Structure 1
Amino acid sequence: MAASGETRPEAATVRNEFALERYRYILQQIHAVNENAHRFLAVYQTLATTLVGAALALFVGYRKWDVASDTARSGVIGLLVLTTVVAAFTITLIVVGALASLFPLQHRACSVRSMSRHGPHSGQKSSWPQAQMSLPGPGHRRSITTCQGGTCNSPTTGSSSS
């Protein structure tokens, strides 16, 4: 049931505002993933160009530098292996960064209804979560709120609210 003085359009407005903020958060996460991927690729491009350039210089100039051909071959292979390792590391960083932004731990189990401070509507008592995570803004401490039958107890204050 709605609290006294609260009407259905106000609850819908709050739900719409929450959905809009969630959409903005998702767009911000996508932007951060794209930014990090471009940064990692720029670093990889620089390192790969340098390493392949060094391998090419070694391949072309080993005679002029009086380096044995076996040593030059080992050096070229080593530089190309190092380029492959840098590529694998860069790909791993990009994939892990994308997965971390897709599945953030603090938002995994949260939904619009479980983050709502209002009780469930009539007939939805069974859909109340047994515990919900309160996610305040930056600079605030996170707390776990337990809910039983529409009554929530906050461990930080010990008070009850419905």
Structure 2
Amino acid sequence: MMTAGDVTPEAEAMRKEFALERYRYILQQIHAVNENGYRFLAIYQTLATTLVGAALALFVGYRKWGVEPDTARGGIIGLLSLTTVVAAFTVTQIVVGTLAWLDYRNEECDITDQMVAPGFRERPKPGNLFRWYETYVLTFILVSIITMWSLAGLLLLPKVR
């Protein structure tokens, strides 16, 4: 006669198979989150380069094109603002991806603690923030946006007369 705490061999095998499938899914999701970070960086680089290039083209050609200085200034500010929105979107996606990655890694550790041995897989430490590429991607984006606005305010906009 089995008690409530007893588990049949079939149930134990099914539990292990389910844990293995969940573990595979978690690893796949971790990989997808990592890949998405690179995709968002590529999108940011492409759009930022295009939008800033358009702002510079407007700055260089507004007189030849017969565009009023106030309109050119507004266009430059609009293009730089759009670049900032793209940067904010990218930063948001990277932060959300990092939080999802942390959640999946903790779930991975939970499964390995149960199925292999406690402490088999070390949990992520926020102190390792400086080892994560996301930290440097976010820093790059923030520095590029600050540099873009600084150069526009110091060099471009004052010369649009």
Residue 40 (structure 1) shift: 1.8
1:3 deviates by 4.4
Corresponding position: 1:79 with 2:79: yes
Q: How far has the Cα of 1:21 moved from its partner?
A: 4.3
Q: Deviations over 1:57-99 (max 9, x none)?
A: 0011111112222221221121111101111011112222332
Name the residue aligned to 2:88. 88
Identity, in percent, stands at 71
- Partners of 2:78 and 2:91 lie apart in 1 by 20
Matched to 2:81, the amino acid is: V
What residue is the counterpart of 1:32 in the other structure?
32
- Is the Cα–Cα contact under 8 Å of residues 55 and 80 in structure 2 kept in the other structure? yes
2-structure distance, mates of 1:28, 1:36: 12
Larger gyration radius, structure 1 or structure 2: 1
Output the CA distance in 1 between the equivalents of 2:19 and 2:102: 17
Q: Which has the higher contact order (CA 8 A, sep 6+)?
A: 2
Q: TM-score, normalised by structure 1?
A: 0.50
Structure-2-length-normalised TM-score: 0.50
Equivalent residues in 2 for 1:1-162, closer than 5 Å:
1-3=5-7, 6=9, 20-103=20-103
For residue 17 of structure 1, report the CA deviation from its aligned partner.
5.8
Amino acid at match of 2:83: T
Measure, in 2, the Cα distance between the counterparts of 1:23 and 1:2.
Answer: 25
**Structure 1 Cα separation of the partners of residues 28 and 7 of structure 2:** 34
Distance, in Å, in 2 between the alignment partners of 1:20 and 1:89 is: 35
Moved over 6 A (4+): 13-16
Q: CA RMSD in A?
A: 3.5
Unaligned runs of 5+ in 2: 115-161
Cα distance change on mapping 1:3 and 1:52 into 2, 3 Å: closer
Cα-to-partner distance string for 1:81-135 (whole Å, 9 max, x where unaligned): 110111101111222233245447xx97xx66xx9xxxxxxxxxxxxxxxxxxxx
What's the counterpart of residue 140 of structure 1?
Answer: none
Structure 1 residue runs without a partner (length 5+): 116-162
Structure with the higher fraction of residues in helix conformation: 2
Cα contact 2:33–2:100 (8 A) shared by 1: no
